[in-house]
Amino acid sequence: MSDHVLSLNHVDIYQQENLILKDVNLSIKKGEFVYLIGKTGSGKSSLMKTLYGDIPLKKGEGTIVEHNLSTLKERDIPYLRRKLGVVFQDFKLLTDRTIKDNLKFVLKATGWKKKAEMEEKIDQVLDKVGMKTTGFKYPHELSGGEQQRIAIARALLNDPELIIADEPTGNLDPQTSVEIMEVLQQINKNGNTILMATHDYALLLKYPSKTLKCDGGEVFEVVQKTL
């Protein structure tokens, strides 16, 4: 079996009819932590949306967690998403229910049935993000950083083969961003593969790792000193 969780070969990324990124070639191996950088509008979100099936792949070859993106059907998307953990800038928690119920909602939607197993899994992911005692709270009772920790816990529920984080620190102050980064680093050390879009250069310098850049309609790898 391949040790790659993602590979794109000669892929073009579109928004509607507009070509956003041309001839994208990249791969991510199991266990890697990869940054995706680039200025606003350079195509980071478009690339990520293509990876989780929100934008269809029209040209080129793409494989992600054993799914072929070129032949991906609407009905395959829930199965693809189950193997991915997606984290957004704006957390996207359900505001009308507690943290535990947010997590339970995802488990039920992805086929979990046994109450005790769900409880155990929820405790486990909350523990991983340092939020074990907050399960009974509502999202609005938590700070932005705490809400993002919960969103990361939610992404971990189905033991994803790849975590896709689109600007996870974009709404957070610098100190809280570092705390969220520490959580992501810890998760990566425990074996999770992570692709993270950011334009926070301070984080890149503090936590150097493989970096891909979107610029001028292309994606290429950069080394730290030429960022």
Ligand X SMILES: Nc1ncnc2c1ncn2[C@@H]1O[C@H](COP(=O)(O)OP(=O)(O)OP(=O)(O)O)[C@@H](O)[C@H]1O
Binding residues for ligand X (CB under 6 A): 15-16, 18, 20, 38, 40-46, 199, 214
Q: Kindly tell me which of 6 and 142 has the beta carbon lying closer to ligand X.
A: 6
Q: Are strands 194-197 and 33-37 parallel, antiparallel or unpaired?
A: parallel
Q: How many helices (H) and strands (E) does the chain have?
A: 7, 10
CB of 146 to ligand X, least distance (A): 23
Q: Is 146 or 167 the residue whose CB approaches ligand X more closely?
A: 167
Give the pairing of strands 218-222 and 210-215: antiparallel
d(CA 144, CA 163): 20
Q: How far is the CB of 90 from ligand X (least distance, A)?
A: 11
Distance separating alpha carbons of residues 2 and 99, to the nearest angstrom: 36
- Least distance CB 18 / ligand X (angstroms): 6
Rank residues 20 and 204 by Cβ distance to ligand X and give the closer one: 20
d(CA 184, CA 195): 10
Q: To the nearest whole angstrom, how small is the minimum distance from the Cβ of residue 189 to ligand X?
A: 27
The C-alpha atoms of residue 4 and residue 97 are separated, in whole angstroms, by 37
Sign of CA dihedral 80, 86, 91, 96: positive
**Closer to ligand X at the Cβ: 50 or 188?**
50
CB of 170 to ligand X, least distance (A): 8
Q: Is the Cβ of residue 83 or residue 199 nearer to ligand X in the bound state?
A: 199
